[in-house]
Structure 1
Amino acid sequence: MSINRRQFLRRAGALTALGLGGSFVITGFKGKKVVAASAYEAPKNAETIKHWAMVVDVSKFKSEDDFTRVIQACDSIHNIPDFGNTKDEIKWIWKDDYEHTFADSVNEYMDENFKKLPFVITCNHCENPPCVRACPTGATFKRPDGIVTMDFHRCIGCRFCMGACPFGARSFNFRDPRPFIKTFNPDFPTRTPGVVEKCLGCYERLEKGLQPACVEASNGGLIFGDLDDPNSEVRKIVSTQFTIRRKTELGTQPSVYYLVGGEEHA
């Protein structure tokens, strides 16, 4: 059934008014109950962590196994389905080439070997996230520690956030993803058809004092920490070494930095 713009905005407003904090219990895989993240639940470490950020050390990703390891670490704990085709693909962290990663970073003098490298791609958890502004229900929101996350329960599938994100970091469930989950994690909510999803920054691990799953599996290829802390490793790298970010000209201020110096990228 189609609705006009006025009807859509009225319904979106009603959903926003009804969703006033608290945790939502939703039905998970095979009828099990799991708790979804609340849009108004403050992280336990909000007073100490000011700005989570990630550095991708490009030199550490030398083989297909290096990429597969971090992708599978994320997929397995977040119930990410494998549809077996790119048309329905759900991506939280993935591999892509230079052209698609840094499409607007044209430098005719850049080393040709660097242009041939694959790169780890994920949500940039921008300081100025356009997806948050585009979401009419508050399903997408930015935490006090800088993580841009989602409450799947609130998502109405309008896909405004997908149109607003300049990095292609969001996926839409055109089909029921649950039958395509290879290894089910009962502690993380599954999604339903008509719901958008993305990397949530492993909020459930951060609040236990753990590193994101991809970082833990990367063998030093991904460095994660508080960018506002002068003593953190990410701050030291960004302050003293050459790093680049994606589409900085758009002003979203990505929190993912690519370290391109150091070891040779042969």
Structure 2
Amino acid sequence: MSINRRKFLRKAGIFTALGFGGISAIAGINKEARAKTPEYELPQQALLAKRWAMIVDMSKFKTKDDFTRVIQACNTIHNIPDLGNLKDEIKWIWEDDYEHTFTEPSNEYLTENFKKLPFIVLCNHCENPPCVKACPTAATFKRPDGIVAMDFHRCIGCRFCMAACPYGARSFNYRDPRPFIKKINSDFPTRTQGVVEKCIFCVERLAKGLMPACVEASNGGLIFGDLNDPNSEVRKIISSRYTIRRKTELGTQPSVYYLIGGRENA
């Protein structure tokens, strides 16, 4: 990596002393790091899309097990630790209530029953991701297929991405997570103390021609596909059914949609 932790902190300290000029200077570091990010080619068997998107069909999440099954599928393959307390919790996909999931007032006419539901929450893989702009080392980057991915080895732990993300979709390893992983999956890298992490839409599985683990475990509750393909299931649902997204007023253009009412009522 061209910009190590010590070099970055030295520059960031200078920019902070300079005041608002530091914002543009940080952007300059971001541009420098991004220019040196190597190009990559996907294998022939990879699942491809112009813009990946996910729909959460809330009618399929009726019991606690429906949530647990999806969350555990993600946690297991991605070596997500169980630290035993909420303060240090590492979250890629999790359960939350309506009040914390949808904070904007634009959904005021939804039924009270819907507002009492728990929701599956994850990174929204925004079309305009503020976290990418905030990352000074290109550890967080947007792929051509719309996925906001991470290179954990580039992360220097500055947590600028966490401050920039309006969805609380990132977690920071305040301690070494490896001792808290019940069974390490050797096919996916573990992280270290001082690294930020989040959902990456299972890019490692897409490269093998597989759907994301959460989608496979959801029994139809999570629908994944190409938003730019008029014939894809996600595009057809979004075009014909009532869906909502989180904090659309911010202009981030989330790629995760929540389906109201279920597909069986179409």
TM-score by shorter chain over 0.5: yes
Q: Which amino acid aligns with 1:175?
A: R
Q: 1:17 to 1:51 in 2, by over 3 A?
A: closer
Overall identity of the aligned pairs, in %: 72
- Find the residue that maps to 1:154 and give its secondary structure: coil
C-alpha contact 1:93 1:122 (8 A) present in aligned 2? yes
The alpha carbon displacement at 1:18 in A equals 11
User: CA separation in 1, counterparts of 2:52 and 2:251?
Assistant: 18
Q: Which amino acid aligns with 1:180?
A: F
User: CA separation in 1, counterparts of 2:36 and 2:243?
Assistant: 40
The alpha carbon displacement at 1:41 in A equals 2.1
Determine whether 1:241 maps to 2:249.
no
| Equivalent in the alignment of 1:144 | 144
The alpha carbon displacement at 1:183 in A equals 1.7
Q: Which amino acid aligns with 2:99?
A: E
The alpha carbon displacement at 1:197 in A equals 0.3
| Equivalent in the alignment of 2:172 | 172
After TM superposition, the structure 1 = structure 2 runs for residues 20-59 of structure 1, keeping only pairs within 5 Å, are 20-21=36-37, 40-44=39-43, 48-59=48-59
User: CA separation in 2, counterparts of 1:260 and 1:191?
Assistant: 36
Q: 1:153 to 1:107 in 2, by over 3 A?
A: closer
The alpha carbon displacement at 1:5 in A equals 2.0
The alpha carbon displacement at 1:110 in A equals 2.5
Q: 1:74 to 1:239 in 2, by over 3 A?
A: same
C-alpha contact 1:91 1:171 (8 A) present in aligned 2? yes
C-alpha contact 2:34 2:138 (8 A) present in aligned 1? no
| Equivalent in the alignment of 2:99 | 99
Of 214-223 and 102-111, the range deviating more from structure 2: 102-111
C-alpha contact 2:50 2:227 (8 A) present in aligned 1? yes
The alpha carbon displacement at 1:100 in A equals 0.2
Structure 1: which 5+ runs fail to align? 23-39
C-alpha contact 2:47 2:207 (8 A) present in aligned 1? no
- Find the residue that maps to 2:105 and give its secondary structure: coil
| Equivalent in the alignment of 1:29 | none
C-alpha contact 2:230 2:236 (8 A) present in aligned 1? yes
Q: Which amino acid aligns with 1:73?
A: A
User: CA separation in 2, counterparts of 1:150 and 1:177?
Assistant: 17
The alpha carbon displacement at 1:104 in A equals 1.1
Q: 1:108 to 1:122 in 2, by over 3 A?
A: closer
Task: Report the number of matched residues.
Answer: 246
CA RMSD in angstroms comes to 2.6
Deviations 1:69-119 (A, max 9, x none): 000000000000000100100000000000000011354443111110000
After TM superposition, the structure 1 = structure 2 runs for residues 52-131 of structure 1, keeping only pairs within 5 Å, are 52-131=52-131
Q: Which amino acid aligns with 1:248?
A: T
User: CA separation in 2, counterparts of 1:109 and 1:82?
Assistant: 38
Query: TM-score, structure 2 length as denominator?
Result: 0.85
Deviations 1:133-161 (A, max 9, x none): 00000000000101001000000000000
C-alpha contact 1:152 1:191 (8 A) present in aligned 2? yes
User: CA separation in 1, counterparts of 2:99 and 2:34?
Assistant: 43
User: CA separation in 2, counterparts of 1:208 and 1:108?
Assistant: 42
Q: Which amino acid aligns with 1:79?
A: N
User: More helix per residue: 1 or 2?
Assistant: 2
